[in-house]
């Protein structure tokens, strides 16, 4: 409210945050909740279009590489099938979590999922 006085828009930083959150949780899930991740670098961010409140956006994230120490990924946001934002390089540092079950429960809460398929090693 009041951020854009004449036209309501979703700020680009919200799109960046959404891409980063999705990829971060994908990394945690992919490591079976044994680690947590902190975004440490983003590069090649492009916001090509605006998103207005009420439009539905689809976020796609991909892990390019991952290890015990860090992960590299990229993400895209689409609205009505059109690419509106992208991050071509996102690096996350990992740290060990004390209780994987706590992260698993947070993931279930935020995702709305009740049954999680186990990751195969």
Q: Could you read off the pLDDT of 27-82 as tens digits, one per residue?
A: 999 999 999 999 999 999 999 877 777 788 899 999 999 999 999 999 999 998 99
Domain count, the chain: 1
Whole-prediction pTM value?
0.85
Q: Mind listing the pLDDT tens digit for each residue in 79-110?
A: 989 999 999 999 999 999 888 988 888 888 88
Residue 102, SS3 per DSSP: helix
> Residue 106 domain-assigned?
no
Q: Is residue 1 predicted with pLDDT exceeding 60? A: no
Token readout for 39 is 């975004």
Residue range(s) defining the domain that contains residue 64: 12-96
Could you report the per-residue pLDDT of 6-36, keeping only the tens digit for each? 777 788 899 999 999 999 999 999 999 999 9
Tell me if 118 is assigned to some domain: no
């Amino acid at each position: 409210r009041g951020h854009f006085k004449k036209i309501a828009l979703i700020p680009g930083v919200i799109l960046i945050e959404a891409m980063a959150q999705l990829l971060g949780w994908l990394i945690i899930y992919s490591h079976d909740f044994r680690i947590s991740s902190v975004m440490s670098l983003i590069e090649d961010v492009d916001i090509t279009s605006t998103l207005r409140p009420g439009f539905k956006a689809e976020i796609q994230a991909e892990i390019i590489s991952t290890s015990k120490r860090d992960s590299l990924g990229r993400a895209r946001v689409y609205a009505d099938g059109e690419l509106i934002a992208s991050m071509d390089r996102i690096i996350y540092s990992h740290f060990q979590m004390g209780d994987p079950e706590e992260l698993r429960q947070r993931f279930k809460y935020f995702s709305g999922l009740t049954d999680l398929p186990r990751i195969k090693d």
